[in-house]
Amino acid sequence: MKRVLYLTTTFLTSCTLIFAQPGYWQQKVKYVMDVNMDVQSNRLTGKQKLEYWNNSPDTLDRVFFHLYWNAFQPNSMMDMRSRELGKIEFRGANNQAIKDWDSRVEDRIQHLAPDEIGYQKILSFKMNGVSQTYKVWETILEVDLNKPILPKSKVVFDLDFEAQVPLQIRRSGRDNPGTGVRYSMSQWYPKLCEYDKEGWHPTPYVAREFYGVWGDYDVNITIDKSYILGGTGYLQNAHQIGYGYEKKGTKVVRPAGNRLTWRFTAPEVHDFMWAADPQFKHLTRDVSKGRTIHVLYKYKPNDAANDQAWNEVADAAVAVLPFLEKHLGEYPYKQYSFIHGGDGGMEYPMATLLSGPGLGTVFHEWIHSWYQMMLATNESKYPWMDEGFTSYTSGRVSSFYYLKKENKILGLDLPTEPAEGADVELPLYQAGNYAGYFSVVRSGLEEPLTTHADHYNTNFAYARAAYSKGAVFLSQLGYIISDSLRDKTLLEYYRQWRFKHPDADDFIRIAEKVSGIQLDWYKEYWVNTTKTIDYGIDSLWEENGKTKVRLRKISQMPMPIDVQVQFKDGSKEIVYIPLLSMFGTKPAENNIPRVVMDPWRWTHPTYVFEIDQRLMNIQTIEVDPTWRMADVSRKNNKIELKW
């Protein structure tokens, strides 16, 4: 046995973009779109010129596009899926019946009138000036090309399209009675499906999650002059638009007529969203490096509380940005917009739609700028890498913000982050994520994290997997490799994989390289299965003046084990038992003396270790004193000896 003390070292990382893996490739696009919006008919017409770089080693004989708004038609896949899930019922508080469908969708789609449905129609489609043959499969456009796209070549697609904005049902739409916002324009244009090492991803719009091609956007939107817009990208003609976008001291000169054309550019993004309303109020805040925070919300006359709440959104964004950049990496764009609209909270590049100014949602959606808008996993396959990582981080950010705010109000000079070397404890802000995970385990409805986002048997199981279990993945990773190395992993993950499409293996490899610990077993059990963790103290006894402790692995998933021993004199000791499959040990995390034991082999249900003290000198023994291990039954984790 040996005692190990660990001193945290400073981790420095560069944000220089490098290729994450030899041989990695990804497709690239450039969209140029001219859109005319008719606010009387709620319809738009558009022309799209799309340059497409086939950087793959494959020859492509067809391409696919998303036509998302076709989901908002009676008997669509989204409609039918929601109604079918609505037949599943759970028992909630007071034994009330709760339908499993998404409460925002329910059966509303089947009741839409012809002027309330959504649609996207392709009027013409050309490649390199030549008309192509295409078919529409509800929310997917399939184009059979007259000439294949060769590897390492570029083609140009020209599309004419028209669309009708649906009533607000899910994410996008018009005239949401809850917000009063006129237009929430997400998933509004024909969007090229992603092609990667696994091939095409023509995922029908059934419920959730997205995947897009990295590229640049030039978008010109012509709409009635009274409407104020916000969204993805940088406004190029602010001097003609005004509405708070113009530089201070600039005289705004709007063109004659009743309509304005808003010209946006957005570099290095994989989607483009905008929203519009005549009563938007526009707030701005300047932050470091010449960047701007925008907040656009539906103004309510004589409602000071509403104004105050949205102003706090702007101020809170300024307050937490340094924390986000310290822990996640630099925010590389010149602006970010928090926009009133949508049906809850929904993230897009450089912007989010928010149904209200609640800061929990505000922080969550902004953090998606890192976990999806810059680290663009295939959300359909890995929703937990976006929603889970975001849920974990939003808890940390909320804790930071409210502690900082409280200290400011009280006039205190207190730390807003744990000091280096402080005892690690599961913070309250992570307790909800663990509770969510435990609830799906108890329900018997849990499915592996490898399940496609649209294919979970219940919305309940999806939400608990993607949000809760995905968040616990990161918190528990801190238990396995240490919180400090987990945080270094997140920064290195950002450094190597931003503006790319990482998957679970890519993240695990980063964590292994940072920590020096093998983690394939963790991914196997936590991601690929629904096996659970349950360790307990089986028994203890004294032999030759020393205490023997036997631990038992009760459930199927193996883990390294921290055991905290507290003696009658008040001193403590950590007994650390690494898992053999790790082929390494985590560093000590606090100033408590630590004893590192021989590894536990996962095939063995019990493990016995020795404490160099008599049994009568021991006050408590506790497995996982920080509660970061997702042990499904903690009743056998702690023994208190009352002498």
Task: Work out the pLDDT band at 209, boundaries 50, 70, 90.
Answer: confident
- pLDDT score at 91: 82
Domain termination site, one of 353, 380, 407: 380
- pLDDT score at 413: 55
Of 44 and 406, more confident: 44
Are 610 and 488 part of one and the same domain? no
- pLDDT score at 90: 86
Residue 498: which CATH number? 1.10.390
- Phi/psi of residue 492, nearest 5 degrees: -70, -35
- Residue 282 placed within a domain: yes
Of 598 and 427, more confident: 598
- pLDDT score at 337: 98
- Residue 560 placed within a domain: yes
- Residue 522 placed within a domain: yes
Are 107 and 131 part of one and the same domain? no
- Residue 9 placed within a domain: no
- pLDDT score at 16: 34
Closest-CA residue to 501 (of 233, 214, 267) = 214
Are 99 and 143 part of one and the same domain? no
Are 99 and 36 part of one and the same domain? no
The β-bridge relationship of strands 335-340 and 291-298 is: parallel
DSSP 8-state symbol, 636: G
- pLDDT score at 1: 37
Residue 134: which CATH number? 2.60.40.1730
Spell out where 304-442 has E strands.
335-340, 345-348, 351-354
- pLDDT score at 559: 98
Are 575 and 468 part of one and the same domain? no
**Across the chain, what does the average pLDDT equal?**
93
Are 367 and 406 part of one and the same domain? no
The β-bridge relationship of strands 153-164 and 43-54 is: antiparallel
Are 264 and 332 part of one and the same domain? yes
Are 80 and 189 part of one and the same domain? no
CB 351 within 8 A of CB 232: yes
**Distance separating alpha carbons of residues 228 and 234, to the nearest angstrom:** 15
Residue 563: which CATH number? 2.60.40
Domain termination site, one of 111, 128, 159: 111
**Distance separating alpha carbons of residues 406 and 392, to the nearest angstrom:** 22
Q: What is the pLDDT of residues 132-170, one digit of tens each?
A: 999 999 999 999 999 999 999 999 999 999 999 999 999
Are 148 and 106 part of one and the same domain? no
Helix H or strand E segment including 461: helix 459-463
Neighbours of 221 (CB within 10 A): 22
Helix H or strand E segment including 514: helix 504-515
Are 158 and 253 part of one and the same domain? yes
Are 125 and 187 part of one and the same domain? yes
- Residue 10 placed within a domain: no
Structural domain range at position 369: 28-73+112-380
- pLDDT score at 92: 74
Q: What is the pLDDT of residues 346-398, one digit of tens each?
A: 999 999 999 999 999 999 999 999 999 999 999 999 999 999 999 999 999 99
- Residue 19 placed within a domain: no
Are 88 and 218 part of one and the same domain? no
Domain termination site, one of 352, 380, 408: 380
**Distance separating alpha carbons of residues 628 and 313, to the nearest angstrom:** 31
Q: What is the pLDDT of residues 401-434, one digit of tens each?
A: 998 887 766 665 545 554 444 444 556 678 999 9
DSSP string, 476-500: HHHHHH-HHHHHHHHHHHHHHHTTB
Q: How many domains does the chain have?
A: 4
Structure tokens at 47: 């022309």
Q: Is the pLDDT confidence value at 436 over 60?
A: yes
Task: Work out the pLDDT band at 95, boundaries 50, 70, 90.
Answer: confident
CB 463 within 8 A of CB 453: no
- Residue 18 placed within a domain: no
Q: Is the pLDDT confidence value at 298 over 80?
A: yes
Task: Work out the pLDDT band at 96, boundaries 50, 70, 90.
Answer: confident
- Residue 490 placed within a domain: yes
Which residues have a Cβ under 8 Å from the Cβ of 597 and sit 6 or more positions away? Answer: 1, 575, 576, 577, 578, 609
CB 44 within 8 A of CB 35: yes
Q: What is the pLDDT of residues 185-200, one digit of tens each?
A: 999 999 999 999 999 9
Q: What is the pLDDT of residues 484-536, one digit of tens each?
A: 999 999 999 999 999 999 999 999 999 999 999 999 999 999 999 999 999 99
Q: What is the pLDDT of residues 8-31, one digit of tens each?
A: 333 223 333 334 478 999 999 999
Q: What is the pLDDT of residues 217-251, one digit of tens each?
A: 999 999 999 999 999 999 999 999 999 999 999 99
SS3 breakdown of the chain: % helix, strand, coil, rounded to 5?
25, 30, 40
